[in-house]
């Protein structure tokens, strides 16, 4: 008897809670209310159905109010506010996901049309209507991005090593940091103009070559690489550097063999993300590398096509069969998204592989 009595005594720390089904119930009520409201208000003989997105918005509003009031009555004000804010945060997330999913859906559904064997194996040489592909654009994108990476990674990584390991926050370091920040904000077309004029000065006016495109991309890539690797190098604990110095290891070997391996995962991730970021650049490549319908594997002569420009030109210069051009544009966009996604997944994989292991 006494045990039961003890158990039934109200717990000082407990309070009334809404049962979990109540939330679902409120949601259904809110939906029925708004759906019913809109159906009821619909003018006689209207041809359109009920506007679904509008119903969704009103449902969310009604649900928010209903939940707040019920929770206020049953659970008290703190929980009511908690539920409302949770709802707001969730709605913000959903709102952010809508354009993303819509974009993915559109690109996948429209791009799938020409996402075929030909697309990956043919250039646009002598193609005026249907057929053809973007193989030349993919080759160009890979060549120019690879060259840009080859230029940016050494420059960016060495800059960040100087900033973190050697500068000790002197005036030069502070100005480098400042200009790197400024460079992050350079409009990409300016980078393209820079590369174009640079190569015009060297090779004569009107020069459009792959390497110029790569130079334009590296102008955009270097600040990202500097910033991300600087952060990663700063994360390496000073204790490790000191441990290495105390073993009589010179500073440069300490950096090469202790600091860099420890930060490798982060640096690689940063580089991969920088690559993904510049791969989708259109304007600088349009100016510096031009565009082409042909395969060109030599970055030092002639114009070079890239995927973003392939998409752009397919859209602005639709030929005799516009449908075919638009389909190719969507397929190009889909390919670009897939490549960037693969790079991001690769970055995650690399992080897992290279991260220091703490297993026993």
Partner 1 sequence: MSKRIEIKDLNVYYGNFLAVEGVSMVMEPRTVTAFIGPSGCGKSTLIRTLNRMHEVIPGARVDGEVLVDGNDLYGAGVDPVKVRREVGMVFQRPNPFPTMSIRENVLAGVKLNNTRMSKSDADDLVEKSLKGANLWKEVKDRLDKPGSGISGGQQQRLCIARAIAVQPEVILMDEPCSALDPISTLAIEDLIEELKEKYTIVIVTHNMQQASRVSDKTAFFNIAGTGMPGKLIEYNDTATIFSNPSVQATEDYVSGKFG
Instruction: Give me the residues that bind partner 1 (CB under 8 A), please.
Output: 168-169, 237, 239-250, 253-254, 257-258, 261-262, 264, 356-360
Residue with Cβ nearer partner 1 (23 or 249)? 249
Q: For residue 101, what are the CA distances in angstroms to 97, 195, 282, 332?
A: 6, 36, 23, 18
Length of the chain, please?
360
Least Å distance between CB 275 and partner 1? 24
Listed in sequence order, the residues at least 6 apart from 303 whose beta carbon sits closer than 8 Å to its beta carbon are: 208, 209, 289, 290, 291, 292, 296
Residue with Cβ nearer partner 1 (40 or 358)? 358
Residue with Cβ nearer partner 1 (129 or 261)? 261
Least Å distance between CB 343 and partner 1? 24
Which residue is listed with tokens 């539920």?
Answer: 83
Residue with Cβ nearer partner 1 (117 or 358)? 358
Residue with Cβ nearer partner 1 (185 or 360)? 360
Identify whether the C-beta of residue 191 lies closer than 8 Å to the C-beta of residue 212: no
Least Å distance between CB 236 and partner 1? 10
Residue with Cβ nearer partner 1 (1 or 246)? 246
H helix intervals, the chain: 2-8, 20-41, 52-74, 77-111, 117-121, 135-161, 171-184, 188-203, 210-235, 238-246, 251-254, 260-279, 283-288, 307-316, 322-354
The CA distance from 209 to 216, in Å, is: 11
The CA distance from 49 to 35, in Å, is: 11
The CA distance from 71 to 76, in Å, is: 6
Least Å distance between CB 77 and partner 1? 46
Least Å distance between CB 350 and partner 1? 14
């Amino acid at each position: 008897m006494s045990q039961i009595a003890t158990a039934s005594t109200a717990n000082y720390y407990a309070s009334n809670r809404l049962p979990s089904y109540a939330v679902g119930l409120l949601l259904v009520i809110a939906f029925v209310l708004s759906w019913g409201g809109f159906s009821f208000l619909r003018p006689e003989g209207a041809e359109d159905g009920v506007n679904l997105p509008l119903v969704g918005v009103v449902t969310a509003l009604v649900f928010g109010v209903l939940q707040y009031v019920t929770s206020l009555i049953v659970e008290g004000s703190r929980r009511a506010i908690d539920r409302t804010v949770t709802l707001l945060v969730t709605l913000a997330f959903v709102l952010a996901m809508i354009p993303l999913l819509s974009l993915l859906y559109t690109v996948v559904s429209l791009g799938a049309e020409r996402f075929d064997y030909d697309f990956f194996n043919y250039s646009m040489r002598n193609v005026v209507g249907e057929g053809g592909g973007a193989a030349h654009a993919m080759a160009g994108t890979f060549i120019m991005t690879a060259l840009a990476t080859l230029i940016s990674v050494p420059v960016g990584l060495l800059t960040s090593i100087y900033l973190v390991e050697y500068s000790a926050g002197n005036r030069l370091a502070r100005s480098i940091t400042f200009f790197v920040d400024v460079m992050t904000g350079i409009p990409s077309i300016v980078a393209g103009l820079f590369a174009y004029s640079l190569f015009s000065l060297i090779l004569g006016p009107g020069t459009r070559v792959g390497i110029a495109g790569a130079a334009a991309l590296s102008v955009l890539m270097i600040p990202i690489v500097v910033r991300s690797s600087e952060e990663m190098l700063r994360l390496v604990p000073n204790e490790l550097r000191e441990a290495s110095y105390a073993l009589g290891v010179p500073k440069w070997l300490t950096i090469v063999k202790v600091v860099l391996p420890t930060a490798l995962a982060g640096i690689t991730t940063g580089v991969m993300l920088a690559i993904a970021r510049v791969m989708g650049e259109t304007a600088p490549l349009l100016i510096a590398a031009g565009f082409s319908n042909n395969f060109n594997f030599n970055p030092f002569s002639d114009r070079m096509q890239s995927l973003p420009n392939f998409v752009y030109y397919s859209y602005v210069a639709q030929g005799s069969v516009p449908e075919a051009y638009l389909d190719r544009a969507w397929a190009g966009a889909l390919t670009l998204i897939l490549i960037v996604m693969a790079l991001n997944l690769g970055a995650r994989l690399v992080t897992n592989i290279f991260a220091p292991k703490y297993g026993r």
